[in-house]
Amino acid sequence: MKKHLIFLLSAALLVLATGCEKTSKGHTQIVNYPIITLLGDNPYVIQLGGDYKEPGYTATLEGDDYTSHVTVNSNVNPKIPGIYSVSYSASNSDGYSWTLNRDVYVLNPGGVANVYISNCWNNSGSRNYKNIPIVISPVSDGVYEIEDLLGGFYFAGVYPGYEPTYNFHATVQFSLNEDGTFNILKKSEWYFMSSFNYSNITGGYNPETGEFKYNFDGINVALTPFEP
């Protein structure tokens, strides 16, 4: 039995030792990747309607300046509140690439459509997840979409990293009643949808503080506007 274990461990170590190297018929090639460094803030924050000004970046390859080889891609829309991404990538002569991302928060202080930080927990208090970014986007006049009515309880708390295989976002479109409670207009399909009753939502939006505090069928959510 010990001999079998020794053989298996030796085989596993051999795989680990060669897994990061490029091998071909008896020779090994060390791959050097471009290294990109972001300058400025990450996340980078702008106000609704403002301008995104690239904070800058540098890149090196084997100690030499490689900045001119970096490709930048951005989906930032300063006219709509949300969290956007700017990607920076560079490839070496063999086609091996390195990529970094910068988050850009477009904030709408005082508006319902905004970037929020979620604190969510179940009624028993056995699970509590904090500091989860949640976006509420505008749909039309008085209609909004929240990316997850559970404030990230499942996709960022209980099951982080399971997406995109499983969809744990309880995305809904809603309007607000005069007392700040939710008027659910449209529900998206998600993994645990059949386990929740959308009629069991208490609490809602406080226009004086700009916060959402509510209970969605046993899950408590507190959304506070993001402040840099």
Q: Is position 158 within any domain? A: yes
Same domain, 47 and 132: no
Same domain, 67 and 120: no
Range of the domain at 134: 114-225
- The CATH number given to whatever domain includes residue 200 is 2.40.128
Q: Dihedral of the CA atoms 204, 136, 198, 167 (nearest 10)?
A: -150
The pLDDT of residue 30: 81
**Six token digits for residue 63:** 């100690």
Same domain, 84 and 119: no
* Domain termination site, one of 91, 107, 123: 107
- pTM to 2 decimal places: 0.83
pLDDT < 70: residue spans in the chain = 1-29
Domains contained in the chain, number: 2
The pLDDT of residue 10: 38
Same domain, 70 and 122: no
Q: Is position 70 within any domain? A: yes
Q: Distance between CA 127 and CA 85 in Å, rounded?
A: 30
* Domain termination site, one of 92, 107, 122: 107
The pLDDT of residue 184: 98
* Domain termination site, one of 84, 107, 130: 107
Same domain, 202 and 120: yes
> What digits encode the pLDDT tens for the residues 29-64?
688 899 999 999 999 999 999 999 999 999 999 999
